[in-house]
Structure 1
Amino acid sequence: MTSTPLDRRSFLRTAAIAGGALLVPAAIAATASADAAPQFAHGVASGDPLPDGVLLWTRVTPTSDSLPGSGQGPTVDVRWDVATDSGFGSIVRSGVVTTGPERDHTVKVDVAGLSPATTYYYRFTLDGATSSIGRTRTAPAPDAAVAGLRMGLVSCANWQGGYFGSYRHLAARTDLDAILHVGDYLYEYQVGGYGARDKTIRPHVPEHEIVTLTDYRQRHAQYKTDPDVQALHALHPWLITWDDHEYANDTWSDGAQNHQPDTEGPWSARKAAAQQAYSEWMPVRLGPGNTIYRTVRWGRLAEFSLLDLRSYRSKQVTAIEGGMDDPSRTITGDAQMEWLKGGLASSPAQWKLVGNSVMITPIAVTGLAAVVMQALGDLLGIPIGGVASNADAWDGYTADRTELLSHIADNNIQNTVFLTGDIHTSWAANVPVQKGGAAVATEFVTPSVTSDNIDDILNIPPRTGSLAVEAILRGYNPHVKLVELDSHGYSVVDVNAQRVQADWYYLNDRTSPTTGVKYSTSMAVASGTHSIQKAGTRL
């Protein structure tokens, strides 16, 4: 977490004792949505920090008809300010951005000329109305000796499945540098299409499954009205990549399981609509052709490789159908694979952190009852009967996985850690090139914020029937050091020179807007090893 030789955690603790130093971020979280002007109803956000800059985001509603997705409203000029203090007595950068209905009145500013490893505050102004104040932080200089990095790790936040207590509890922490979101920021389903054990806790807007540009814009807007979403965005820069539900379930390069061309039109139009809305509404830099895979450095300590495992992948197959080992099939695409291998091999950072939307650890399952296999299949793409494999994850694209992991092994690339979401459950594993082989990397998987997991799908009480399933999974997969199939929540990941540690926190009740949270467990991998061990001290 520290990004200068001074230990920032120690500084914050000392400042808190001295009195009131932590009140500014707490106030930002508390007022992110409550006191915002109606012109800024969707909050503020920042993302993709660089040593000399950061991306800032907001959305304005200049007139009553300028509603998300409406295509209505005037073109307006929005002022932005960046300061070193929350009172904006020391403004260091400012400017004006023009926006209008052609980009759904969203505002994105790629601010440059900032100092490395520095906390900044930002705001937007329109016609005398001011947004809530955001806080962000630039990355350390590439050659900086960084003592630590601490971040929240989240995935799979389904509006209809409950409330985003994970975001609220992360926003209450004062020790985070960033938020890593590895996909399924929103869901495409219609009202009643996917909730919490088939119950809709909060209905989606629009009511139908989203397909058009207007639909995707309105759904993004709805998620950005959530107070916990706004609070966490306002406090920290986010590093984000997409998974499938930003488009449709089980997306691949030319379609999706949840897309029917006969009634929903060509996939190319839906994909373009989803990507345009995402580009407008998310604090993320997209490259030419909406390329989202990218690298973010955190001094000499860590480098993030943020992947896109949907845009270029081959259509999923199952173990029963065959072809999962076909070398002509890909999950990354050739260009991204070469970029990833080259980046891992050449990175000067001690830790190579891979923002990975779907699980890379090989998982095998036999001997489970058919009903359990079906539940696992709902999450993992596992066919019933025979050898089970995670068809929608890297298990369904074994040639690509072997190529990547063999590259890591052959080039003696140390300290590669995959940080993953997608499957709504908690895992920690040593990652071998082949099942039963020596590990060459490690993986930490965060649970869903709200989306259903095993006990929900089976409609059984949590921590009952799932316990036997977890035992079988560990038995057939000795490289798996943690598996927990029931709980919803988030992870906190801490990086220093000695190790990477992940802590799991679980919500008491995802369907309650005031849910509490409980700490579960801590796992860590020491530098120079590929062996996850239970950590003795929580973050």
Structure 2
Amino acid sequence: MTLDRRSLLATFGTGAVAAPAAATAGQGVQPTFLHGVASGDPHADSVVLWTRVTPGADGTRALPVRWRVLNGETVVASGTAEATPDRDYTVKVIAGGLRPGTEYRYDFQAGDVTSPVGRVRTLPVGATPDVVLAVASCQLHPGGLFNAWDDVSKLERLDAVVHLGDYIYEYGAAPADYGMAVGTALSRIPQPPHEIVSLEDYRLRHAQYKSDPDLQAAHARAAFICVWDDHEITNDAYISGAENHQGETEGDYTARKAIALRAYYEWMPIREPRAGLGLEHINRSFDFGDLASLMMVETRLLSRGEQLDYEKDLTVTPVNGVPTPDVAAFEAKRNDPSRDLLGAGQLDWLKSALAASRASGKTWQVLGNQVVMARVAGPDLAGSATPEQLERFLSALPAAYRTRVQAAIDLFKLGLPFNLDAWDGYPAGRERLYAACAEAGVQPLVLAGDSHAYWVNDLKDAAGARRGVEFGTSAISSPSVGDLFGPLPLGAMLAARNDEVVFCDQNAKGYILLTLTPERAEAKLQSVSTIRAKPYEARTLSTWVVTRGTDGITGPVRV
């Protein structure tokens, strides 16, 4: 039995603006910039600049595009590029020759039309007093308004945005599709209105997301440092397949994956993979002066084995006439040494990057990772709620989910993991990662997305040794498991059940504002009051601090 977030939450969601036109719409006389501008992957001397030109009357030829970077009113870099049909009229250039730690403005021009203006800051070198990052994930367009992105765009200080994946979702617009109860009510209808499979489909879906004004504003505010999770391809992706890929009707998975990645690199402000590597090699690192290194890892397409599933992989046999799960056999499968997310090659790269960061004297090593790393057993609902509360909770669930949730409750009594798609489904790989961190002499700050929940976790290895601190960000707009639980505080139940979980909120939506200084790392869990309407209110849900001393990190402590 699987507590599957997608199927449980298919009838939940949020938000409202009319769906944008398809990527090739808007065929006026002049070309236009309907999808805004973006920057990404900043280095100390260069940055990726991105836009898309919607063609004018002649939508079949290449279009010359001019770009420029300004410091104040002075143009410090400029050039020309072409928007071509074979890249869906997206333009991506690397603006070089820039100064470190400097904020610039940039824009594009096609014909007589000038794009919106973006802001971007290059990475610092040398002594760096602080770094401010917004950490975000999981933005289901029919799930709700992107109010959190509007809030990010208004931040007075922001060096970069770290996006941990699920930038787009692949689902269609059928009534039972993910988030469509709200998407229909709020006219946020996926484009195209079916599950995306072809290159044109993926391009149209990226175009729809980039048409959202709040997301455009966030991209124009600061550089994004991105990594995909699963929905940029399809749900619960792994190296050779995915839960939401049916080969008999949707073709070859390898071909679909290649199409999805092609569209991703076209539509995202990201550098191309290093020479000689395939598109899957999105792992890369960024140095913020002498203060911090950010390592972005890939946990879906390079080495991830197929996810375990309680319904398929947990055998139930009669014991004295009572159906009894064979937990020992299931745990043997889960702890198989071959189960992994990173793979040997990526782990070697990460270990070298961590060691180099430590050797150069940087205070913080930050791991940009997609899924929750901490050990999280499912909630003991039977032990945390009265029978009356539990009955009210179950009776309030949609009938289609009641049996599934009851089965999950019974399994979680046994101490089994809450989410097998997270690192809990790959414990041997997690131990190898922890060993690599220990060998490099670091206790990293781990960032996590995917879960649609806020987490503050104290990471420990199988022997109980402290290995790091994890900050998990909630969703921008995607439904949360906690939405199902009504008055039952799922986050508090998970924290009470698990030694590594210091704090968990399974309902609020938003992002994390992470500020690093030589003395401390401060994580503000920023939430928005609603994703169903405007205006909204933004607030800090809670603030957590980690300090680093000669003996390692201290905290997380709530302040």
TM-score normalised over the length of structure 1: 0.85
CA distance in 2 between counterparts of 1:120 and 1:432 reads 41
What residue in structure 2 maps to residue 250 of structure 1? Answer: 236
Give secondary structure in 1 for the equivalent of 2:278: helix
- Displacement of 1:477: 1.2
1:289 counterpart = 2:318: no
1:367 counterpart = 2:380: yes
1:419 counterpart = 2:406: no
- Displacement of 1:411: 4.0
1:179 corresponds to which of 137, 157, 161: 161
- Displacement of 1:99: 2.4
What residue in structure 1 maps to residue 152 of structure 2? Answer: 170
CA distance in 1 between counterparts of 2:368 and 2:137 reads 11
1:356 corresponds to which of 369, 373, 378: 369
What amino acid does structure 1 have at the position aligned with 2:54?
Answer: T
CA distance in 1 between counterparts of 2:204 and 2:500 reads 43
What residue in structure 2 maps to residue 304 of structure 1? Answer: 294
What residue in structure 2 maps to residue 233 of structure 1? Answer: 219
Preserved contact between residue 351 and residue 440 of structure 2 (Cα < 8 Å): no
CA distance in 1 between counterparts of 2:220 and 2:168 reads 18
Alignment of 1:268-417 (within 5 A): 268-287=254-273, 288-290=277-279, 291-312=281-302, 313-318=304-309, 320-321=313-314, 322=330, 323-347=333-357, 348=360, 349-365=362-378, 367-369=380-382, 384-385=411-412, 386-389=414-417, 390-414=419-443, 416-417=444-445
Structure 1 window deviating more from structure 2 (267-276 vs 335-344): it is 335-344
Deviations 1:3-51 (A, max 9, x none): xxxxxxxxxxxxxxxxxxxxxxxxxxxxxxxxxx861110000001101
- Displacement of 1:98: 1.6
Give secondary structure in 1 for the equivalent of 2:450: coil
What residue in structure 2 maps to residue 261 of structure 1? Answer: 247
- Displacement of 1:221: 0.3
Q: Check 1:383–1:183 CA distance in 2 against 1; reply closer, same or farther (3 A cut).
A: farther
- Displacement of 1:235: 1.2
2:479 corresponds to which of 452, 458, 468: 452
Give secondary structure in 1 for the equivalent of 2:161: strand
Q: Which has the higher contact order (CA 8 A, sep 6+)?
A: 2
Preserved contact between residue 252 and residue 311 of structure 1 (Cα < 8 Å): yes
Q: Check 1:147–1:222 CA distance in 2 against 1; reply closer, same or farther (3 A cut).
A: same
- Displacement of 1:382: 9.8
Q: Check 1:514–1:198 CA distance in 2 against 1; reply closer, same or farther (3 A cut).
A: closer
- Displacement of 1:132: 0.8
Residues paired across the two proteins, number: 478
Preserved contact between residue 428 and residue 532 of structure 1 (Cα < 8 Å): no
- Displacement of 1:526: 0.6
Deviations 1:403-426 (A, max 9, x none): 111222344324x10011100001
What residue in structure 1 maps to residue 515 of structure 2? Answer: 494
What amino acid does structure 2 have at the position aligned with 1:494?
Answer: T
- Displacement of 1:481: 1.3
Alignment of 1:17-32 (within 5 A): none
CA distance in 2 between counterparts of 1:327 and 1:533 reads 31
Give secondary structure in 2 for the equivalent of 1:489: strand
Q: Check 1:437–1:382 CA distance in 2 against 1; reply closer, same or farther (3 A cut).
A: farther
CA distance in 2 between counterparts of 1:114 and 1:51 reads 7
1:41 corresponds to which of 28, 34, 39: 34
2:470 corresponds to which of 435, 443, 462: 443
What residue in structure 2 maps to residue 11 of structure 1? Answer: none
What residue in structure 1 maps to residue 92 of structure 2? Answer: 108
What residue in structure 2 maps to residue 8 of structure 1? Answer: none
What amino acid does structure 1 have at the position aligned with 2:103?
Answer: T
CA distance in 1 between counterparts of 2:223 and 2:416 reads 38
> Which structure 1 residue ranges, 5 or more long, are not aligned?
1-36, 67-72
What amino acid does structure 2 have at the position aligned with 1:40?
Answer: F
CA distance in 1 between counterparts of 2:556 and 2:62 reads 56
2:68 corresponds to which of 70, 75, 81: 81
CA distance in 2 between counterparts of 1:473 and 1:481 reads 9
Preserved contact between residue 429 and residue 532 of structure 1 (Cα < 8 Å): no
CA distance in 1 between counterparts of 2:143 and 2:84 reads 33
CA distance in 1 between counterparts of 2:134 and 2:115 reads 25
- Displacement of 1:255: 1.1
Structure 1 window deviating more from structure 2 (193-202 vs 157-166): it is 193-202
- Displacement of 1:470: 3.0
Deviations 1:444-463 (A, max 9, x none): 001111111123234x3xxx
What amino acid does structure 2 have at the position aligned with 1:61?
Answer: T
Q: Check 1:440–1:78 CA distance in 2 against 1; reply closer, same or farther (3 A cut).
A: same
CA distance in 1 between counterparts of 2:555 and 2:230 reads 29
Preserved contact between residue 55 and residue 285 of structure 1 (Cα < 8 Å): yes
Structure 1 window deviating more from structure 2 (359-368 vs 498-507): it is 359-368
Alignment of 1:502-521 (within 5 A): 502-521=523-542
Preserved contact between residue 197 and residue 452 of structure 1 (Cα < 8 Å): no
- Displacement of 1:298: 0.6
CA distance in 2 between counterparts of 1:93 and 1:198 reads 45
Preserved contact between residue 164 and residue 513 of structure 1 (Cα < 8 Å): no
What amino acid does structure 1 have at the position aligned with 2:349?
Answer: W
What residue in structure 2 maps to residue 27 of structure 1? Answer: none
1:483 counterpart = 2:501: no
Q: Check 1:411–1:305 CA distance in 2 against 1; reply closer, same or farther (3 A cut).
A: closer
Structure whose CA Rg is larger: 2
Preserved contact between residue 164 and residue 370 of structure 2 (Cα < 8 Å): yes
Structure 1 window deviating more from structure 2 (474-483 vs 149-158): it is 474-483
2:109 corresponds to which of 125, 146, 156: 125
Preserved contact between residue 304 and residue 353 of structure 1 (Cα < 8 Å): yes
CA distance in 1 between counterparts of 2:409 and 2:430 reads 18
Q: Check 1:305–1:411 CA distance in 2 against 1; reply closer, same or farther (3 A cut).
A: closer
CA distance in 2 between counterparts of 1:502 and 1:508 reads 19
> Which structure 2 residue ranges, 5 or more long, are not aligned?
1-29, 315-329, 383-389
Task: Say what the alpha-carbon RMSD is for the aligned residues.
Answer: 2.2
Alignment of 1:147-162 (within 5 A): 147-162=129-144
Deviations 1:321-362 (A, max 9, x none): 432211112211221111112211221222101111101111
1:532 counterpart = 2:555: yes
Preserved contact between residue 419 and residue 445 of structure 1 (Cα < 8 Å): yes
Give secondary structure in 2 for the equivalent of 1:271: helix
Q: Check 1:108–1:411 CA distance in 2 against 1; reply closer, same or farther (3 A cut).
A: closer
CA distance in 2 between counterparts of 1:418 and 1:286 reads 24
Q: Check 1:413–1:533 CA distance in 2 against 1; reply closer, same or farther (3 A cut).
A: closer
1:428 counterpart = 2:461: no
Preserved contact between residue 69 and residue 105 of structure 2 (Cα < 8 Å): yes
Preserved contact between residue 525 and residue 533 of structure 1 (Cα < 8 Å): yes
